[in-house]
Structure 1
């Protein structure tokens, strides 16, 4: 076995669910009439090889087939007619005047991640790191998808995502996007606190790999403890297509 294949197999084993889990099943049942696909940060700076974070996230994205899996989720959600919402991440010039920030905030600001010229202009936006991945634009820019106001750190506490979903009668969320241990986990925690049932799609996200730790592994562990269900893209497509 080559070193690359051996490393890949080790990662598969590391991320596998326990053979004999101690935590109980929740009994979650998907109801399409009250469900929505919520995709966090489907933007170039995360998901494109030209994005500013690809060196940190690219290996996990590639192993999980994240880009293609998100595309399948978008297509299936549109085909079956459930609500779709985007919670994007944008930084405007005034956001760079913050007086403090956590480690990842400092990294994002230093890289110019998700930067836009301002909240009332699209100058320089098209094709930028803050723009949506080109393959997803037909689904996102169809005039029906909810594009929430931007979240600013990791969670949806600072945007209107929960309001938009409530106004659509949504109480179940299929959660996917980037990044696993940051914005996805923060959205998961807050949306649970807001009374939503939340399914996380485990291979439609990815995490950073740094000497400080494997973010995807950290997220998976917490998903098992927190989410009402933890599905693969294939499981999610099957459930939505019933």
Structure 2
């Protein structure tokens, strides 16, 4: 198939692949660990072609407004500089990856990697026009990031194998995928990328 040829305009954006969002973490996404291998394959592909890789992370203070103690919807998670906020040790992030920290002040939440960050400017400085997106979770931070990416004018490819949903309400993940597609994001499978390395 291999219908997607990467160009100098492309970047990979990996969303919130942190310990607390993986099974066993404080806010683990069901089957979230299944995303690691597909994401690693994409990172190897981009690195092999010298293309940018960006990775977002929640980087919350201890009293963040999204936590239940402050009336938010979530248990404490991804508190800055804790083990739960670290990227999975199985994630093969390249050494020159652009790390984007979000929701890092107590009174502001941010599901999108673009919200309150300079990610759009950083990508434009690198000549990026199209983003390939994967990570956690489909129905929250991936969805909101893709919505903002489209508003910023980036083309977007979403890789279904490389994301999983929370599904607080059954079907949230599928609805999120449909909404992203309706906004112009192109759904794609790993096998559509020319040069994708073997599963490993």
Distance (whole Å) between structure 2 residues aligned to residue 209 and residue 182 of structure 1:
10
Matches within 5 A, 1:30-41: 30-41=5-16
Equivalent residue runs for 1:92-131 within 5 Å: 92-96=61-65, 106-108=72-74, 111-116=75-80, 122=81, 125=82, 128-131=83-86
Residue of 40, 55, 76 corresponding to 1:71: 40
SS of residue paired to 1:164? helix
Aligned pairs (5 A) from 1:208-227: 208-210=166-168, 212-227=169-184
- After superposition, residues 70-89 of structure 1 pair within 5 angstroms as 70-89=39-58
CA shift, 1:168, in A, is 0.8
- Secondary structure of residue in 1 paired with 2:133: strand
Structure of larger gyration radius: 1
d(CA) in 2 for partners of 1:92, 1:167: 29
How does the TM-score come out when normalised to structure 1?
0.69
Q: Do the aligned partners of 1:149 and 1:161 also contact (CA within 8 Å) in 2? A: no
Q: Secondary structure at the match of 1:134?
A: coil
More helix by share: 1
Q: Which runs of 4+ in 1 moved over 6 A?
A: none
1:58 is aligned to 30
Contact 1:77 1:240 in 2 (8 A): no
Contact 2:45–2:195 under 8 Å retained in 1: no
Name 1:153's counterpart in structure 2: 110
Q: Does 1:176 align with 2:134?
A: yes
Greater strand share, structure number: 2
Structure 2 CA distance, aligned partners of 1:201 and 1:97? 28
CA–CA distance in structure 2, aligned partners of residues 174 and 239 of structure 1: 15
Over aligned residue pairs, what C-alpha RMSD do you find?
2.6
Is the CA contact (8 Å cut-off) linking 1:30 and 1:172 kept in structure 2?
no
